Amino acid sequence: MPAIYGLVTVLLLVWSMVPVYAESGSAPPPTSAFAALPRIESIQLSPSGRHLAVLRNHEGHTFLETHTVSGQEKHRVLSTDNRDFIITWFRWVNDERLVVSTRFAAPRDAVDSIETRLLAVNRDGTQRLPNLISQGSFSSIFGKNHVPQFQDQLVGTIPGDPRHVLLALDLEHPHAPDVYKVDVYSGERQLVQANPGSKPDAAAIAHWIADRAGKVRVGVGQFHTAVHAIVRLPESSLWRELADYDLAKETGLVPLAFDADPAWLYVRDQHRGKAAIFKLNVMDRAADRILVVADPKFDLNGELVYAPGRKKVVGVRYSATDERVLFWDYDAQRLQARIDRAVPGRVNVIHSSSDDGRLHVVKSSGAAHPPHWSIFDERDGRMVLLGKSYPDLEGVGLTAPTTTYVTARDGKELQVFLTAPKDRDPRHLPMIVFPHGGPAAQMSGGFNYWTQWFVSRGWVVLEPRFRGTEGYGDDVLRAGFQRWGLDMQDDVTDAVQYAIRSGIANANRICIVGSGYGGYAALMGLVKTPDLYRCAVSLGGVTDVPELVSDSRWYLNQTPMVEMRIGSWWSDRERLRETSPVFHAQEIRTPLLLMHGVMDRFVPVSQGRALAEALQSSGKSPYTYVELPAADHVLHREEDRQRVFSELEAFLARYLN
């Protein structure tokens, strides 16, 4: 047996010795099987393909570990209890050195915010630089040391240079990052591209793109809602305009990445109402751009897929949450077909490849299939299991959703997902209405531990895609602008009423549950349609929309974008108050579970506290308020997930069962 397959024994002993539940005739798996952090979050191959870096979780702790692919060495590189910081991503710079991004909550100028840092470490845990960007040499601005808030903005690596990476850092001018070449062993840095827009009224470059040779070639900036993009020709020092448009009026061109040929730039732009992928020749301004790939039903909003072994861009992911790839390269299509034959009935996504294109780390999952991680050898076609993200759910009869379309009251078509316990008639079961967060965030049809937990408890789950959701075209997205609590809420109501009319739902046993914007929708459901729901749950939901808009002034460029999508604190103040649950506390009579994390940096805990106080003053709502002292918006800590699910189970069982 080849050496790479020796890893199977090592990893399966660590990750896969778990109890197996029968598909039927046994009790449902414990809540901890769903609420636990995934045993494996990510696996990345080193450039040579000889080593693996694995980000895994165990009993609430997160570990970054490395292994040789042969399974002979194992090192714990970094660990965290997810209290002081969380690990957000990691990347091999060479076969011995990794850079790791961490994120933590911290006040900045008396405003609660999020900070990121970048550390570097050898694969055996030695020569660790806890902060790659030395704080002792920051520029002095107005007598203060300016510490960049985001220090992990990786622009790229440099081919043939195993010591350096390109980082965007606003060391000289706040919010106007320059690009530096940074030594991953010493932290020394060298300026390679200055930001041309450091004036207060200018569109400073916020996002930089390097070509495949490691040269910074594209910059994108935004001032209020005006987007400005510039491009530099190969071997030139001169910049010229690439795009200039107003987001309030249109969704325009977005630069993505260069191909191996530095003359060709891939961009995203609108095609028949959907986001599609084009490429254009930056050397020839008169040449028409070329449509590379488009989907007639969905936007292509995800990142491009670059095949190291083929030295070119080969496809694009649908979105950050829907990892499926739409390939235009024939060889990549053939490779995907081979992988799909090896693991049939799953969505198989390549997450990492060796530089020679021989070995690939593959994540295989589905709506009813928690992720499995494998290594695929392109030379002999063998697929070897590395581990499972939710091993405690192996053998459990999980259920995939069915899809239907509902016509809203104004004629718009809405996609709706319905997931029911296996082999049970949904008409005789309680229903959970589960609007997604964002509100623009598109939820894919992949594995969702929330949905599967609801279903395991005997509840049907209805997930509507209301207007304002990304992924369905610019018209659907913009139809939700400034329609919080109005058309967007009516879409949720129309989906529920459809379920009742069609006999899918029992009108007396429906509860609405949501997080973030979904929590807001749950609260507004009680305000606008109090007779539709038996109970409601809001986790980190917005309760005071004017306050949310007002808070945006503390964050760079947030106010114009928030006003475009939600409304103006001043000119729209009456509408914003009318669509804020906190100003309707007297009208809420339905049983409500209100939960909020103190460390939530997206929706401040003050929003949850304000509604709890208003409900207490009204004395009319049977509500429960639960505050989670260390929880953030998305529950990165396992104990917070366990607490939330425990509260949910007791509350929902009381009112639905």
Angle of helix 487-501 relative to helix 517-528, nearest 10 degrees? 70
Please list, in sequence order, all residues whose beta carbon lies within 8 angstroms of the beta carbon of residue 118, skipping any fewer than 6 positions away.
Answer: 99, 100, 101, 102, 131, 132, 133, 151, 152, 154, 167
615, 623 in Cβ contact below 8 A?
Answer: yes
Residues 375 and 409 in one domain: no
Question: For residue 4, is pLDDT > 50?
Answer: no
- Which residue, 370, 398, 426, sits at the end of a domain? 398
* 471 assigned to some structural domain: yes
- At 26 the pLDDT is 66
* 73 assigned to some structural domain: yes
417-466 pLDDT per residue, tens = 999 998 888 888 999 999 999 887 765 678 999 999 999 999 999 999 99
Q: Which residue has the higher pLDDT, 276 or 174?
A: 276
Residues 370 and 406 in one domain: no
Q: Could you tell me the two tokens for 262? A: 């530095």
Q: What is the pTM of this model?
A: 0.93
- At 9 the pLDDT is 30
State the CATH number of the domain containing residue 513: 3.40.50.1820
- At 198 the pLDDT is 57
- At 443 the pLDDT is 59
Q: What is the DSSP string of 617-654?
A: HH----EEEEEETT--TT--SHHHHHHHHHHHHHHHHH
CA distance 256 to 247: 17
The CA-CA-CA angle for residues 448, 450, 451, to 5°, reads 70
CA 440 to centroid of chain Cα atoms: 12
* Beta strand segments in 389-467, E: 402-407, 413-419, 431-433, 460-465
- At 14 the pLDDT is 33
Question: For residue 43, is pLDDT > 90?
Answer: yes
Burial 117-151 (b: 16+ CB within 10 A, else e): bbbbbebeeeeebeebbeeeebeeeeeeeeebebb
Residues 53 and 88 in one domain: yes
Tell me which long-range contacts 24-29 makes (C-beta under 8 A, separation of at least 24).
24/397, 24/422, 24/423, 28/396, 28/456, 28/457, 29/392, 29/393, 29/396, 29/456
Report the side by side order of strands in the sheet with 40-45: 40-45, 51-58, 61-68, 74-80
CA distance 579 to 201: 33
* 584 assigned to some structural domain: yes
117-161 pLDDT per residue, tens = 999 999 999 999 999 997 555 554 445 567 899 999 999 999 999
- Which residue, 341, 372, 398, sits at the end of a domain? 398
Residues 410 and 348 in one domain: no
Residues 26 and 104 in one domain: yes
* 303 assigned to some structural domain: no
Residues of the chain with pLDDT > 90, as a percent, come to 82
pLDDT category, 24, cuts 50, 70, 90? very low
* 205 assigned to some structural domain: no
- At 20 the pLDDT is 31
Could you tell me the residue range of the domain that residue 598 belongs to? 402-415+466-487+508-544+580-656
299, 270 in Cβ contact below 8 A?
Answer: no
Q: Which residue has the tokens 């000889």?
A: 50
Please list, in sequence order, all residues whose beta carbon lies within 8 angstroms of the beta carbon of residue 614, skipping any fewer than 6 positions away.
Answer: 582, 585
Is there a cis peptide before residue 421, judged by omega within 30 degrees of 0?
A: no
Q: Which residue has the tokens 């191959």?
A: 45
Number of domains in the chain: 2
| 419 SS3 class | strand
The CA-CA-CA angle for residues 363, 366, 371, to 5°, reads 35
Residues 517 and 651 in one domain: yes
pLDDT category, 10, cuts 50, 70, 90? very low
Residues 481 and 625 in one domain: yes
Residues 359 and 406 in one domain: no
Residues 362 and 483 in one domain: no
129, 169 in Cβ contact below 8 A?
Answer: no
- At 136 the pLDDT is 55
- At 138 the pLDDT is 53
* 143 assigned to some structural domain: no
* 454 assigned to some structural domain: no
Residues β-bridged to residue 114? 105
Phi first, then psi, for residue 394 (nearest 5°) are: -65, 135
550-576 pLDDT per residue, tens = 988 777 667 889 999 999 999 999 999
Greatest pairwise CA separation for the chain in angstroms: 71
CA distance 415 to 404: 6
Kindly report the average pLDDT of the chain as a whole number: 91
CA distances from 209 to 48, 187, 212, 230, 275 (A): 25, 21, 10, 10, 20
Give first-to-last CA distance, the chain, whole Å: 54
Residues 409 and 535 in one domain: yes
The CA-CA-CA angle for residues 451, 435, 449, to 5°, reads 20
* 62 assigned to some structural domain: yes
Average pLDDT over residues 578-594: 97
- Which residue, 349, 369, 398, sits at the end of a domain? 398
373-424 pLDDT per residue, tens = 999 999 999 999 999 999 999 888 899 999 999 999 999 999 999 999 988 8
- At 531 the pLDDT is 97
Residues 391 and 471 in one domain: no
Q: Could you tell me the two tokens for 634? A: 């998305």
Residues 517 and 531 in one domain: yes
- At 426 the pLDDT is 83
